[in-house]
Amino acid sequence: RKEVEQDPGPFNVPEGATVAFNCTYSNSASQSFFWYRQDCRKEPKLLMSVYSSGNEDGRFTAQLNRASQYISLLIRDSKLSDSATYLCVVNMAGGGADGLTFGKGTHLIIQP
């Protein structure tokens, strides 16, 4: 079983729509969770950390469900500039010594 699994997509979504991605992780001892965004041939950029209580940043909402071991990202009122690959990321151990474990990413295309 892969450590972090995501639906690769692509998700083709009209501008203004709401889109949601889920991601599952295998290690129940995982400590920290993140969503990164990666544009084509660029480096990953931190979109948001994900907390147990859920968190929101503008149009973006992230949720963590530890019991089911999944993380979600919701994008409301999607913009053309939201087109990118969204990487679900888990830190398997406290302190970061094992590095971040990335999913393969979900490709999102916002259509005008």
Partner 1 sequence: ETGVTQSPTHLIKTRGQQVTLRCSSQSGHNTVSWYQQALGQGPQFIFQYYREEENGRGNFPPRFSGLQFPNYSSELNVNALELDDSALYLCASSSLDRGLSYEQYFGPGTRLTVT
Contact residues toward partner 1 (CB under 8 A) are: 4, 31-32, 34, 41-46, 49, 87, 91, 94-105
70: left (phi over 0), alpha (psi -120 to 50) or beta: beta
**Residue 14 Cβ, how far from partner 1 at the closest point, in Å?**
26
**Residue 101 Cβ, how far from partner 1 at the closest point, in Å?**
7
Residue type, 11: F
Q: Token match 């979600």: residue? A: 72
Read off the tokens for 59: 């149009």
In whole angstroms, give the CA distance from residue 8 to residue 21.
10
In whole angstroms, give the CA distance from residue 33 to residue 88.
8
**Residue 83 Cβ, how far from partner 1 at the closest point, in Å?**
17
Rg over CA atoms, the chain: 14
**Residue 41 Cβ, how far from partner 1 at the closest point, in Å?**
8
